[in-house]
Every structure is written in structure tokens, then in C-alpha cells.
Amino acid sequence: MAEEIHVTNDEEAPKKPAAPRTFTVIGVTFRDNAKSYYFDPKGRVYRVGDKVIVDTARGAEFGTVSIANRDVAETEIVSPLRPVLRAALKDDIARYEHNRKIEADAAAIFPKKAAEYSLEMKLADVECAFDNSKLIFYFTAENRVDFRELVRDLAGMFHTRIELRQIGIRDEAKMLGGIGPCGRPYCCSTFLTDFGQVSIKMAKEQNFSLNSTKISGCCGRLMCCLRYEHETYEEAQKTMPKMGALVMTENGPGTVVETRPLSQTVKVRLTEKQEPPKTYSVTDITPMKKPQNNKPAEKKPGEKKQGDKKPTAPGGTGNGDKE
């Protein structure tokens, strides 16, 4: 019986990268928040403005469609992608409106009750679960607050589970929303998923004024947008001379007094000419070494110069040994 001969080709054709997976989603907003969250429509078609009941980590929630059916890449969604349970019915809409009235009543009562117990608490928001299983109060305070007695009092008034959550000033701005210094709605209340780390170094590298009132958001913290272009500035800074560096230009030597990383230009004050600083491209300048100071260092009182010999005792060799 003849043996089968298998011929293998060492140079296999390169495999084509697999096409990224896509998912059909809709965007849903909750209450007065402008931020949209993706949900799986389960094959149904929804239009912007439709009221829907969706499954969330906290149970069923009432929301409004802000983005109609669309296909998005897998990298754009947060797993697991939760489903849309159904289109909202008349009873669902009536329950939602009833819950909003409960939230308004709770918001009016909370400050009075907190004052009764002498608690320094600033109410940020009140949220009633769609199934009316609990009422959540979000508040800010400078210190930790013992609100156990207050919780019991509120539970007796609203006959539901009460949760009090102390939040930070940035979370308060995210909940309340508003218009930032740029004239646009807060980033944190529209599209940011978390609060990234922001430092004063980012503002410095982007040539922002270090005046705290100009680089701080309405929450009083450094603006989140400072980190949006930080990586771009870091890469651009690698090809830029430092402030105060000596460079040679087509008009002579000078000192760098300003850098513009994005446009890859610098302002140089010429050494030999009394003129305002001129703008040059980084490709049109050459770094220069600073002149070294060859003046010998002055000898401090009591300090020995290098090469000074240790005084020797009479008849000695200089190292303390006897001859």
C-alpha cells in the first residue's frame, strides 16, 4: 500500500486579521441625566424619545431612548450588555411620574429633618427606585455623619427602605450637571465613565495659566479636560527645546522664551539684537551648549587644595612611620 506524502509549505500565507465584532445597541438616558448608556434592543426597533424599561444592576429602570438602533464595535460597549425588557406601558409611565413626586416631597423634607437632628448635610439628589422598593438620598458633608436616627425617621414617613449615601464634590457636579467654562455641558454628566487622575503638571505642560480659578471646574477641582490632550503634548514635548535653552537661529543666537508643542514652534529672544522675540519652527533652530565657566573655584577658609601634602613631623616620612 502506497504511503501518503504530505507536502508542507513553510511560507504560509499571512492570516488576515479578524474583523471586529459589532453589536446592535440603543442609547438610553435616565431621569434628567444627559449621559447615554448602551442596551441590547433584542431585535426590536426603537426611535429617539421612546420610553423603555431596561434591566440594570439595580433592577428594572425607566428610561428614554436617546440613540436609535445602531451598530457599534465591541470596544465601545461595557460588558455585559444588558437588555431592554420592553417598551414602557401607560402603567409604567404613571408609576414613573408618581415616583418623581415622591422624590420632590423627599427633597423638601430632608433638610428639615437633618436640621432637627443637628446634622450638617447638603442634599445633592433624591432617587426613587422604579419599583418603589427604596429611596436613596445623596448628600455631601465635610465630615462623617451619624445618620442612623434620621434613617429611622425617614423610613417611618415614606414606608420604604431608606439609603443615605455620602458623595464627593465631583460626584455632586456629575449628578446636578451644568454648563462648564467652555460653554458646554459638564463632561462628567454627559460622557465620562469615571474620574481620571488630573494633576497640575498637565496644566503646566500645556502652557495653561497656573491660576487655580482658570484651570478648575465648577466643582472646585482641576478640570477633567486637562488630561484629554496630555499624551499628545507629552509626545510633542520630546522634540521641543526647554525654556531658557540656547539655540542658533538664522538671525543669530538666542534664548527660548516660549514653546508651542502642538504647532512645533518656539519664540526666541535674540542675544545680539534688541528686538521682540521671534517665532521659529523647531526644524529651523539648532541647540547650543551653554558656555562653561572655567574660572577656578575659590578656596573656602580651612579647605585644602587637591595635592596639598600633609605636614610631616621632624625626622618622619610623612605617613607617621619612623625611619
Burial class (CB in 10 A: 0-12, 13-18, 19+), 214: exposed
Write down the residue that cell numbers 425607566 correspond to. Answer: 62
**Max CA distance (Å), the chain:** 116
Examine the fold and report which residue of 88, 111, 126 is the final residue of a domain before the chain moves on: 88
In a domain, 1, yes or no: no
Does the pLDDT at position 317 exceed 50?
A: no
The parent domain of residue 99 ranges over: 95-167
Could you tell me if 191 and 222 lie in one domain? yes
In a domain, 147, yes or no: yes
Strands 161-166 and 134-140: parallel
In a domain, 9, yes or no: no
Rg of the chain in Å (alpha carbons):
34
Examine the fold and report which residue of 107, 134, 167 is the final residue of a domain before the chain moves on: 167
pLDDT of residue 309: 52
CA atoms of 148 and 205, how far apart (whole Å): 47
Q: What confidence tier does 234 reach under pLDDT thresholds 50, 70, 90?
A: confident
Q: Do the beta carbons of residue 25 and residue 38 sit within 8 Å?
A: yes
The helix, strand and coil proportions of the chain, stated in percent and rounded to the nearest 5, come to: 25, 25, 50
State the total domains in the chain. 4
CA atoms of 171 and 161, how far apart (whole Å): 23
Could you tell me if 193 and 231 lie in one domain? yes
Q: What confidence tier does 189 reach under pLDDT thresholds 50, 70, 90?
A: confident
What type of residue is 94? A
C-alpha cell at 291: 558656555
* CATH code of the domain in which 127 resides: 3.30.300
In a domain, 292, yes or no: no
C-alpha cell at 307: 595635592
Q: Do the beta carbons of residue 167 and residue 124 sit within 8 Å?
A: yes
pLDDT tens sequence across 204-221 = 888 788 888 888 888 888
In this structure, of 40-49, 97-106, 237-246, the range with the lowest mean pLDDT score is 237-246
Q: What confidence tier does 250 reach under pLDDT thresholds 50, 70, 90?
A: confident
Average pLDDT over residues 167-188: 86
Q: Do the beta carbons of residue 288 and residue 309 sit within 8 Å?
A: no
pLDDT of residue 68: 93
In a domain, 100, yes or no: yes
pLDDT of residue 292: 59
C-alpha cell at 303: 579647605
Average pLDDT over residues 130-142: 92
CA atoms of 86 and 93, how far apart (whole Å): 13
In this structure, of 137-141, 179-183, 312-316, the range with the lowest mean pLDDT score is 312-316
Mean pLDDT of the chain: 83
In a domain, 225, yes or no: yes
Specify whether the backbone of 277 is left (phi greater than 0), alpha (psi in -120 to 50) or beta: beta
In a domain, 124, yes or no: yes
In a domain, 53, yes or no: yes
- DSSP 8-class letter at 36: -
What global pTM score does this model have? 0.65
Q: What confidence tier does 157 reach under pLDDT thresholds 50, 70, 90?
A: very high
Beta bridge partners of 27: 38, 67
Strands 265-270 and 252-260: antiparallel
CA atoms of 246 and 94, how far apart (whole Å): 72
pLDDT of residue 44: 93
